[in-house]
Structure 1
Amino acid sequence: MKNSNTIIDKAILTIDIESKAIANLKKLINIDFEKAVNFIFNSKGRVIITGIGKSAIIANKIVATMNSTGTPAIFMHAADAIHGDLGNIQEDDIVICISKSGNTPEIKVLVPLIKNYGNKIIALTGNPNSFLATNADFLLNCEVEKEACPNNLAPTTSTTAQLVMGDALAICLLDLRDFTSKDFAKYHPGGALGKRLYLRVSDLISNHEMPLVTSNTNIKDVIIEISKKRLGATAVIDNQKISGMITDGDIRRMLEKNDNISKLQAKDIMSLSPKTLNVDAMAIDALNTLENFGITQILVLNDEKKYVGIIHLHDLIKEGIF
């Protein structure tokens, strides 16, 4: 059994080998890369990405990245392509073929068929002298010195390079399309990520009651209002304007300082300058405000600066945003 130092050293060596290969990709980005990006951007068709073995797995990931960033893409397995899946390719589609060697039997059969269809081919390969590279319209060179595998056999460094080159392609296309976080939200409506992009403060307060008291409300009634509305705080409103805010923390501090609270009113313990947020703000903005000021509640106002509710940190945790 190998000792822990050997394991750690091997892990660090693997990362070193792959990180050096990725850094070297910068030297391989050339005019062909630029032409490929512009061709995809100006195309009316989709991007069909194909490969076999580990390259097929990388192709699937690049397809997912492109689809989520505004470039329509479809995965087509190289082996299945020559057994019927070539029907996926439409007239204006562009085909990206991924292959480390660029000389696999499936690729050698597939490339001429695609060219007969009249579709452009982008080669993403680690062998710039391969059959794929020399027969493609654009070459994205992903050449690596060696695999991280000690036998230089298992695809490791090479597939990492393919993935990074695919990311570079997708991000350049994203930039050309002026793809914003709002566009991103359209494709990611589910999960915590989607909620960060589309959920608004108005969505979180829609089912809430609105705890409120006036400056002259006695402390007993303030405590009852906070407890009843279960948001850990209440707004203090006078003449339809915010005078302040009282939280559970304010109540605790008051009890620590005063033995007799019967004569105290809301104005005696309220915070005079509570943090506020517009009802149309993004929920993630509410989270950032709470974190920046180290608070757990924030008052919500409409466009007329009228009080419409309270956002609590628990609301954001419940939605998976925190």
Structure 2
Amino acid sequence: MKICVIGGGGAIGGYLAAKLARAGNQVTVVARGATLATIQKNGLTLYMESEPRPIVAQVRAVEKISDVGIPDVIMLAVKAHQIEPIIDDLASIVGPETTLIPMQNGIPWWYFQNLPGPFENFPVETVDAGGQIMKKINPRNVIGCVVYPATYAESPGVIRHVEGNRFPLGELDGSQSERIQKISQMMSDAGFKSPILEDIRSEIWLKLWGNMTFNPISALTHEHLEGICRNPLTKDLARNMMLEAQTIAEKLGVIFRVDVERRISGAEKVGKHKTSMLQDLEAGNNLEIDALLGSVIELGRITNTLTPCLSTVFALTKLLNTKVQASQGRLALPELVLEH
């Protein structure tokens, strides 16, 4: 297939692009700056513990989305707040038969599209102000996806895989279409696990359940997952945030296949892992707080659900992000080394 990965030099985009190219697909990545130059010169490099040697994929790399052409599949591997600035260019390469797979954390802009009920086609303002993305991307082109792997960009054009290979997929209307079966097979051929789900929205909430709690708590405390889950106060806070979110989601018809305690236990088992939001904070990057938490609070408002814990953590993390961005700096506490 002809595949375009927007954000193909980033952690998840690079992981996808390298493995899909190795499987024989024609892959174009959209990247910038040093990352673009490195990929054009040396290819896209992916390190995996399961591989004795790095994967070096010779992909086509371009700077402008408009130079891509019309691909069969577009994988949108950028953060939610990065979509609106590129929406016109993105829309220009979505042909009638192109499949667009957004790969953002949090509640996606398309959440209420093709979803019968009182909120059908309701714009999620937190991630799509004025419904601008909805207006320019036909939902018929979109397939939902939940991203589970952990990866990071070690240097420009060099990606390191940490763990995981699951990218569950789902049509917005829950159908088992021919196109989603082909894309699921394409992902499987490249070494990914991409089961087709009838209810992709419930899977989004299952992933979001952890992201919307542990990510902002970790940014506020500079603590890893294991520490948050073992401290009684932060564990209780995470639990209360999850229960508020569960109330919202269940009002929207979502079914959780695990309970709160199991979800917290799963996070604890990950160990001393820094969340992506804590990593962004330490790097001085803009935090994904609107998509991960602001969107959930918005859905709380439209479902008449109180969100005291979610709203408090959101306010604190938003202020933290504002301060870091205003100072154009980064915020990282030194590691404590204990002498024995």
TM normalised by structure 1 equals 0.24
Q: Which one has the largest radius of gyration? A: 1
Q: TM-score, normalised by structure 2?
A: 0.23
